[in-house]
Structure 1
Amino acid sequence: VIRRYEHAAPGELVHVDIKKLGRIPDGGGHKALGRAAGRRNKVGTQRNRRPGYHFIHNAVDDYSRFAYSEILTDEKKETVAAFWNRANTWFESRGITVQRVLTDNGNGYRSRAFADALGPRIKHKRTRPYRPQTNGKVERFNRTILEEWAYATTYRSEAERVAAFPAWLHHYNHHRGHTSLKGQPPASRVTNLSGQYS
């Protein structure tokens, strides 16, 4: 049985996760060119350098669904800790004081570097092993990223796809209606977002 919940204010809980995403080969992949041509581009790219993966690091506020996200090259503990520092600064600049963070049990999240990044003020909660639904809000955001950005358009290169991400993320946070928010965007639940009231 899955119990749905929502915290009462921004920052009470932030869900954090990483989504691994295969890179598009130079010249386009099979979605843009068909299987045969896409395979040739993949092989050509592999000769020069491995296409590999990007790791999309995400932090989603439980109450507002406001999301901070970065496309990074790995999921090492130092990268995870540095991402959290930037995410926390981003939330604070929008008037959101993070109290708790919920992650899975990935190595980066169990590291001393991540604990140090959280500091003494932010409590760290982990999901039970093999229960991704516990971190459901960020898992749903991962799916939305795939459906509405990563695979929504036929990109000719990885650089083109990466360049489209900031505009999509702004649209998600400020303009896209959210079902659980009665059709309002996440920004509608964050008070004093513009910083005009102090």
Structure 2
Amino acid sequence: MNVHENARLTPVGRALMVERIERGLSVAKAAQAFGISRRTAGKWLQRHRRGGERRLHDRSSAPRRCPRKTPAWTIDQIQALRRQRMTGPAIAQALGLARSTVGLILRRLGLGKLSALDPKIPIVRYERAAPGEMIHLDIKKLGKFNVEGHRVTGDRRLGRSRRAGWDFLHVCVDDASRLAYTEILPSEGQADTTAFLERAIAWLARHGVAVQRVMTDNGSAYRSKLFASALQAAGARHVRTRPYTPRTNGKAERFIQTSLREWAYGRPYACSDDRAKAIKPWTDSYNLDRPHSGIKGLTPWQRVNNLLGND
């Protein structure tokens, strides 16, 4: 029901008012009873008597006639030029129109941004059948701080940590079960990245998961010979994401989003060292206690045991 935001009555209230008037109540008394002016009450009474299915609904505020409306053939020209990836100002200059007119028409056509011309890439969702068939690795860079920031003080002008350095959150997520392993390391270089891979594979092995494939982005550490040697020693195949396409490694990206929301920014910390100490308890809770919507409400620990037949 499209009722004007300032309307005193809905169509049902208008119908009730008209019904009382037709039963003998005067227009003035009906207007007073319903809290509207006599003129408004008379307007609804007249519309009711003229009939029509929507006689007691608000009419559109759009004009019935628009002599200066942009012709349809001009709109077609604007659309055709836009599909040639011309900018709004360029289209306006080519057709001799105002920029504001072209901008308005492009927004109405859903072509306000050039990115709207690009075909939408279909979302391809996949899930490996067994734990260890594919694990996802990624790194998130987080700024260190040694004084309380605005999340604690409530004042962005206070608590700025100058040149405090960086923490690097390394994550490993099993594709089939979403079982996660995390560490905070001092760098994203090949030595730390490779050592993290080896520890992650060993941690998964202790839980009965044998790693077959490792998916990463195309960062320099993941392309290093040291990392390749560690993969070869573990008997795992390296799978890289498409360049500039982080969604290919979506499970690791999604885990990082969740960890930032619930761990890094979910509570205030006095310093980054306190934040780093909290990652392991949070990861344990993620694996053991937190239900995961992507695996039908199970926890990753329940899921990995189901898939391994350890129930």
* TM-score clears 0.5: yes
Q: In the alignment, residue 99 of structure 1 is paired with which amino acid?
A: Q
Q: In the alignment, residue 193 of structure 2 is paired with which amino acid?
A: V
Superposed displacement of residue 27, structure 1: 2.4
Count of residues in Structure 1 that have an aligned counterpart in Structure 2: 186
Superposed displacement of residue 192, structure 1: 8.5
Superposed displacement of residue 181, structure 1: 1.1
Structure 2 residue aligned with 1:21: 142
Higher strand share: 1
Deviations 1:115-174 (A, max 9, x none): 011115100010010000000000000100100000000111112111211110100001
Superposed displacement of residue 179, structure 1: 0.3
TM-score between the two structures when normalised by the length of structure 1: 0.90
Deviations 1:90-118 (A, max 9, x none): 00000000000010000000000000111
Q: d(CA) in 1 for partners of 2:127 and 2:293?
A: 14
Structure 1 residue aligned with 2:286: 172
Q: d(CA) in 2 for partners of 1:91 and 1:73?
A: 23
Structure 1 residue aligned with 2:132: 11
Structure 2 residue aligned with 1:73: 186
Structure 1 spans left out of the alignment, 5+ residues: none
- Flag the structure with larger Rg: 2
1:31 equivalent to 2:144? Answer: no
Contact between 2:169 and 2:183, CA under 8 Å: does it hold in 1?
yes
Higher relative contact order (CA 8 A, sep 6+): 1
Structure 2 residue aligned with 1:143: 257
| Counterpart secondary structure, 1:74 | coil
Aligned CA-pair RMSD: 1.7
TM-score between the two structures when normalised by the length of structure 2: 0.58
Structure 1 residue aligned with 2:165: 52
| Counterpart secondary structure, 1:15 | strand
Q: In the alignment, residue 107 of structure 1 is paired with which amino acid?
A: S
Q: d(CA) in 1 for partners of 2:146 and 2:305?
A: 43
Structure 2 residue aligned with 1:110: 223
Q: d(CA) in 1 for partners of 2:289 and 2:183?
A: 19
Deviations 1:16-72 (A, max 9, x none): 11011111x222112212112223xx2xxx3xxx31211111110000000011000
Contact between 1:94 and 1:192, CA under 8 Å: does it hold in 2?
no
